[in-house]
Structure 1
Amino acid sequence: MTSERWPTELRLSRDRRTLSIAFDDGAAFELPAEYLRVTSPSAEVQGHSPAERRTVPGKRDVEIIGVEPVGNYAVKLVFDDLHDTGIYGWDYLYRLGAEREEKWRAYLDDLAAKGLSRDRGR
Protein backbone atom coordinates (compact mmCIF):
# COMPACT_ATOMS: atom_id res chain seq x y z
CA MET A 1 0.00 0.00 0.00
CA THR A 2 1.30 3.41 -0.90
CA SER A 3 -0.07 6.80 -0.09
CA GLU A 4 -0.04 9.93 -2.18
CA ARG A 5 -0.36 11.98 1.01
CA TRP A 6 2.31 11.95 3.65
CA PRO A 7 1.73 13.16 7.22
CA THR A 8 4.20 15.61 8.71
CA GLU A 9 2.58 15.68 12.15
CA LEU A 10 0.14 13.51 14.06
CA ARG A 11 -0.89 14.58 17.55
CA LEU A 12 -3.54 13.45 20.02
CA SER A 13 -4.95 16.21 22.22
CA ARG A 14 -4.53 15.99 25.99
CA ASP A 15 -8.23 15.31 26.47
CA ARG A 16 -7.99 12.47 23.91
CA ARG A 17 -10.93 13.88 21.94
CA THR A 18 -9.12 15.32 18.91
CA LEU A 19 -6.52 13.93 16.52
CA SER A 20 -4.57 16.64 14.71
CA ILE A 21 -2.88 15.72 11.46
CA ALA A 22 -0.83 17.80 9.03
CA PHE A 23 0.26 16.73 5.57
CA ASP A 24 3.16 17.51 3.30
CA ASP A 25 0.94 19.54 0.95
CA GLY A 26 0.18 22.00 3.76
CA ALA A 27 -3.29 20.65 4.60
CA ALA A 28 -4.01 20.24 8.31
CA PHE A 29 -7.07 18.85 10.02
CA GLU A 30 -8.50 18.57 13.53
CA LEU A 31 -10.50 15.34 13.62
CA PRO A 32 -12.77 14.74 16.62
CA ALA A 33 -12.66 11.28 18.20
CA GLU A 34 -16.41 10.84 17.71
CA TYR A 35 -16.09 11.56 13.99
CA LEU A 36 -13.18 9.15 13.63
CA ARG A 37 -15.05 6.43 15.53
CA VAL A 38 -18.27 6.65 13.51
CA THR A 39 -16.36 6.73 10.22
CA SER A 40 -13.99 3.90 11.16
CA PRO A 41 -12.75 2.04 8.09
CA SER A 42 -13.36 -1.25 9.91
CA ALA A 43 -15.65 -3.94 8.53
CA GLU A 44 -17.69 -3.54 11.75
CA VAL A 45 -18.69 -0.04 10.62
CA GLN A 46 -18.25 -0.10 6.83
CA GLY A 47 -19.41 -3.67 6.26
CA HIS A 48 -18.25 -5.57 3.21
CA SER A 49 -20.47 -3.58 0.85
CA PRO A 50 -22.30 -0.23 0.94
CA ALA A 51 -25.52 -2.08 1.86
CA GLU A 52 -23.85 -3.37 5.03
CA ARG A 53 -22.70 0.08 6.22
CA ARG A 54 -23.66 0.56 9.87
CA THR A 55 -24.68 3.79 11.58
CA VAL A 56 -22.92 3.91 14.95
CA PRO A 57 -24.87 5.85 17.62
CA GLY A 58 -23.90 6.89 21.15
CA LYS A 59 -20.31 7.98 20.59
CA ARG A 60 -20.46 11.68 21.50
CA ASP A 61 -18.11 11.21 24.49
CA VAL A 62 -15.74 8.60 23.00
CA GLU A 63 -12.01 9.11 23.49
CA ILE A 64 -8.96 7.83 21.66
CA ILE A 65 -6.82 5.84 24.08
CA GLY A 66 -4.21 4.63 21.63
CA VAL A 67 -2.58 5.59 18.34
CA GLU A 68 -0.48 2.75 16.96
CA PRO A 69 1.59 2.91 13.76
CA VAL A 70 0.82 0.35 11.04
CA GLY A 71 3.87 0.11 8.83
CA ASN A 72 4.53 3.44 7.20
CA TYR A 73 1.11 3.83 5.64
CA ALA A 74 -1.45 4.07 8.45
CA VAL A 75 -2.36 4.17 12.13
CA LYS A 76 -4.66 2.00 14.17
CA LEU A 77 -6.79 4.00 16.58
CA VAL A 78 -7.97 2.46 19.83
CA PHE A 79 -11.07 4.02 21.37
CA ASP A 80 -12.22 3.86 24.97
CA ASP A 81 -15.20 1.73 23.89
CA LEU A 82 -12.44 -0.78 22.92
CA HIS A 83 -13.08 -0.50 19.18
CA ASP A 84 -9.68 -1.05 17.61
CA THR A 85 -10.14 -2.79 14.27
CA GLY A 86 -9.98 0.16 11.89
CA ILE A 87 -6.75 0.87 10.02
CA TYR A 88 -6.70 4.56 9.09
CA GLY A 89 -4.48 5.05 6.03
CA TRP A 90 -3.03 8.46 5.33
CA ASP A 91 -5.25 8.96 2.28
CA TYR A 92 -8.34 7.98 4.29
CA LEU A 93 -7.46 10.45 7.07
CA TYR A 94 -6.88 13.12 4.44
CA ARG A 95 -10.31 12.47 2.89
CA LEU A 96 -11.94 12.51 6.35
CA GLY A 97 -10.43 15.94 6.93
CA ALA A 98 -11.15 17.36 3.49
CA GLU A 99 -14.74 16.05 3.42
CA ARG A 100 -15.51 16.49 7.11
CA GLU A 101 -18.50 18.83 6.81
CA GLU A 102 -20.20 16.69 4.17
CA LYS A 103 -19.52 13.38 5.94
CA TRP A 104 -20.56 14.75 9.34
CA ARG A 105 -23.84 16.17 7.96
CA ALA A 106 -24.60 12.82 6.28
CA TYR A 107 -23.94 11.04 9.59
CA LEU A 108 -26.24 13.37 11.54
CA ASP A 109 -28.95 13.00 8.89
CA ASP A 110 -28.59 9.21 9.05
CA LEU A 111 -28.90 9.23 12.85
CA ALA A 112 -32.04 11.36 12.66
CA ALA A 113 -33.61 9.19 9.95
CA LYS A 114 -33.06 6.10 12.08
CA GLY A 115 -34.17 7.71 15.36
CA LEU A 116 -30.71 7.31 16.87
CA SER A 117 -28.72 9.64 19.12
CA ARG A 118 -25.10 10.71 19.50
CA ASP A 119 -25.54 10.13 23.25
CA ARG A 120 -25.25 6.73 24.94
CA GLY A 121 -28.43 4.98 26.00
CA ARG A 122 -30.83 7.29 24.17
Structure 2
Amino acid sequence: MPSSVFAALRQLHAATPPRLSRFALRPPKAVIFGRRHVGIMSAEPIGNYGVRILFDDLHKTGIYTWDYLYHLGSHKFTLMRSYIKTLKKYGLSRDPQRRN
Protein backbone atom coordinates (compact mmCIF):
# COMPACT_ATOMS: atom_id res chain seq x y z
CA MET A 1 0.00 0.00 0.00
CA PRO A 2 1.50 3.39 -0.96
CA SER A 3 2.63 5.50 2.01
CA SER A 4 0.37 8.39 0.98
CA VAL A 5 -2.65 6.08 1.24
CA PHE A 6 -1.53 4.66 4.59
CA ALA A 7 -1.02 8.19 5.97
CA ALA A 8 -4.59 9.05 4.98
CA LEU A 9 -6.15 6.03 6.70
CA ARG A 10 -6.23 7.87 10.03
CA GLN A 11 -8.45 10.50 8.40
CA LEU A 12 -11.21 8.01 7.58
CA HIS A 13 -13.21 8.95 10.66
CA ALA A 14 -13.51 12.48 9.37
CA ALA A 15 -13.61 11.80 5.66
CA THR A 16 -17.02 10.18 5.37
CA PRO A 17 -19.60 12.65 6.77
CA PRO A 18 -22.28 13.99 4.45
CA ARG A 19 -21.82 17.43 2.93
CA LEU A 20 -22.42 20.26 5.32
CA SER A 21 -25.07 22.87 4.75
CA ARG A 22 -23.72 26.42 4.65
CA PHE A 23 -26.73 27.50 6.64
CA ALA A 24 -26.52 24.95 9.46
CA LEU A 25 -26.64 26.49 12.92
CA ARG A 26 -25.15 23.52 14.71
CA PRO A 27 -22.82 20.73 13.65
CA PRO A 28 -24.33 17.74 11.91
CA LYS A 29 -24.12 14.52 13.90
CA ALA A 30 -21.56 13.22 11.41
CA VAL A 31 -18.86 15.76 12.37
CA ILE A 32 -16.43 13.66 14.36
CA PHE A 33 -14.29 15.53 16.87
CA GLY A 34 -11.96 14.80 19.79
CA ARG A 35 -10.26 11.97 17.92
CA ARG A 36 -6.75 13.28 17.26
CA HIS A 37 -5.11 10.10 18.55
CA VAL A 38 -7.28 7.43 16.90
CA GLY A 39 -5.19 4.60 15.53
CA ILE A 40 -5.71 1.52 13.41
CA MET A 41 -5.84 -1.86 15.15
CA SER A 42 -6.26 -3.98 12.04
CA ALA A 43 -7.04 -3.88 8.35
CA GLU A 44 -8.71 -6.81 6.61
CA PRO A 45 -8.54 -7.02 2.81
CA ILE A 46 -11.91 -7.70 1.21
CA GLY A 47 -10.97 -9.47 -2.01
CA ASN A 48 -9.69 -7.11 -4.68
CA TYR A 49 -12.37 -4.59 -3.74
CA GLY A 50 -11.00 -2.82 -0.68
CA VAL A 51 -10.33 -3.09 3.03
CA ARG A 52 -12.28 -3.19 6.31
CA ILE A 53 -10.48 -1.18 8.99
CA LEU A 54 -10.85 -1.58 12.75
CA PHE A 55 -9.92 1.60 14.61
CA ASP A 56 -8.82 1.59 18.26
CA ASP A 57 -12.09 3.28 19.29
CA LEU A 58 -13.76 0.14 17.82
CA HIS A 59 -15.24 2.01 14.84
CA LYS A 60 -15.37 -0.56 12.04
CA THR A 61 -18.32 0.42 9.89
CA GLY A 62 -17.92 0.02 6.18
CA ILE A 63 -15.52 -1.24 3.59
CA TYR A 64 -13.22 1.31 2.00
CA THR A 65 -12.44 0.75 -1.68
CA TRP A 66 -8.89 0.99 -2.95
CA ASP A 67 -9.96 3.88 -5.20
CA TYR A 68 -11.40 5.77 -2.22
CA LEU A 69 -8.23 5.19 -0.18
CA TYR A 70 -6.15 6.42 -3.10
CA HIS A 71 -8.37 9.52 -3.29
CA LEU A 72 -7.83 10.19 0.44
CA GLY A 73 -4.07 9.80 0.07
CA SER A 74 -3.96 12.03 -3.00
CA HIS A 75 -6.02 14.79 -1.37
CA LYS A 76 -5.07 14.38 2.29
CA PHE A 77 -3.98 18.00 2.83
CA THR A 78 -7.06 19.50 1.20
CA LEU A 79 -9.37 17.12 3.07
CA MET A 80 -7.67 17.82 6.40
CA ARG A 81 -7.85 21.60 5.90
CA SER A 82 -11.55 21.30 5.10
CA TYR A 83 -12.12 19.11 8.18
CA ILE A 84 -10.29 21.53 10.49
CA LYS A 85 -12.21 24.46 9.00
CA THR A 86 -15.49 22.63 9.73
CA LEU A 87 -14.40 21.94 13.31
CA LYS A 88 -13.57 25.62 13.83
CA LYS A 89 -16.89 26.68 12.31
CA TYR A 90 -18.71 24.76 15.04
CA GLY A 91 -16.26 25.46 17.88
CA LEU A 92 -15.01 21.87 17.97
CA SER A 93 -11.50 20.42 18.21
CA ARG A 94 -9.56 17.34 17.17
CA ASP A 95 -8.25 17.08 20.74
CA PRO A 96 -10.12 14.89 23.24
CA GLN A 97 -11.97 16.76 25.97
CA ARG A 98 -10.07 16.94 29.24
CA ARG A 99 -11.55 15.19 32.22
CA ASN A 100 -11.46 16.99 35.56
TM-score (norm 2): 0.77
Q: Which runs of 4+ in 1 moved over 4 A?
A: none
Q: Which runs of 5+ in 1 are unaligned?
A: 1-20, 23-27
State the partner residue of 1:114.
90
- Ranked by relative contact order (alpha carbons within 8 Å, sequence separation 6 or more), the top structure is 2
Is the Cα contact below 8 Å between 2:10 and 2:38 reproduced in 1? yes
Equivalenced residues, count: 90
Question: Which amino acid in the other structure matches residue 71 of structure 2?
Answer: R
What does 1:1-122 align with in structure 2 at a 5 Å threshold?
21-22=1-2, 28-29=3-4, 30-39=6-15, 41=16, 46-47=17-18, 50=19, 54-121=30-97
Question: Which amino acid in the other structure matches residue 54 of structure 1?
Answer: A
More strand by share: 1
Q: Aligned partners of 1:67 and 1:110: how far apart in 2?
A: 28
State the Cα RMSD in Å: 2.1
Identity %: 40
More helix by share: 2
* Deviation (angstroms), 1:86: 2.6
TM-score (norm 1): 0.64
